Amino acid sequence: MHGRRATAAAALTAADPPGRTRRAGAEKVCGILRRALDDRGFSPRLARRISPEVWETAVGAQIAARAQPTVLSGGTLHLIVEDHRWRDQLDAARLFLIERINARLGKGAVRALQFGLAHRGALEEARRRAGIAAAPRETAPIAPERVLGASRLDAGLREAFLRAAEAAQRRRP
């Protein structure tokens, strides 16, 4: 082997998969891209996700079961929370939370928190990991006379609606 071929063969490392060559001093593309974005000031503006495990270790299982991060963008961490009560409590502890998160992610990674309410089921995985049972759903029957009051349906109209509903039910396969 002469020239370039000899140099390329000598540059192979044990970590390279068979059939793949790497030049001496080669760098991964992700490192080059990250450095180029940092140099141009783009990296802080790129949206990032925070894993549930990192979030849980930063804030604790009890808080993680009731609030989860969705995205970190421009220094603002967006969180979904169980309900307005938890939003208010976490908002009151904002500085503490930011400090704890930045201890895990690096100084200045999170500068602000933005809250949104979670839809039903969005926090189930975190609640399961924390060993917290799902909130019970209210299934008490509603008495129409208590809800409708004086605006109850006329008996004849009510019967017509009930017959129509029964007929529709029979038509379904």
157-170 per-position pLDDT tens digit: 777 777 777 877 77
Domain co-membership, 30 together with 58: no
In a domain, 121, yes or no: yes
Q: Are residues 66 and 37 in the same domain?
A: no
On the CB side of 160, how many CA atoms lie within 13 Å of its CA? Answer: 5
Higher pLDDT, 45 or 89: 89
Residue 22 domain flag:
yes
- For 22-64, the pLDDT digits (tens) are 566 778 887 788 788 777 766 655 558 888 888 999 998 889 9
28 and 62 both lie in a single domain: no
**Are 33 and 56 contained in the same domain?**
no
pTM of the model: 0.53
Q: Tens digits of per-residue pLDDT, 106-143?
A: 888 899 999 999 888 888 888 888 888 765 656 666 56
Q: For 14, which DSSP code?
A: T
> Could you give the strand order of the β-sheet that contains 112-117, starting from the edge strand earlier in sequence?
67-73, 76-81, 112-117
Domain at 55, CATH number: 3.30.300.180
* Same-domain pairing of 76 and 11: no
Q: Is residue 66 situated within a structural domain?
A: yes
Residue 156: is its pLDDT beyond 90?
A: no
Higher-confidence residue: 102 or 1? Answer: 102
What is the reported pLDDT for 147? 57
Q: Compute the mean pLDDT over every residue in the chain, rounded to the nearest whole number.
A: 77
Total domain count, the chain: 2
In degrees and rounded to multiples of 5, residue 165 shows phi and psi of -65, -40
Q: Which of 130, 146, 167 is the last residue of a domain?
A: 130
Q: Give residue 115's identity as a one-letter amino acid code.
A: F
52 and 39 in a single domain? The answer is no
Identify the helix (H) or strand (E) that includes residue 70: strand 67-73
89 and 120 both lie in a single domain: yes
Q: 126: domain range?
A: 47-130
Torsion from C-alpha of 25, 31, 34, 38, nearest 10 degrees: -40
76-88 pLDDT, tens digit each: 999 999 988 999 9
Q: Are strands 112-117 and 76-81 parallel, antiparallel or unpaired?
A: parallel
> Which pLDDT belongs to residue 76?
92
85 and 101 housed in the same domain: yes
**In a domain? residue 68:** yes
Q: Is residue 171 part of a domain?
A: no
Same domain, 124 and 52: yes
d(CA 100, CA 113): 13
- Asked if residue 152 is part of any domain, the answer here is no
The answer on 101 and 59 residing in a single domain is: yes
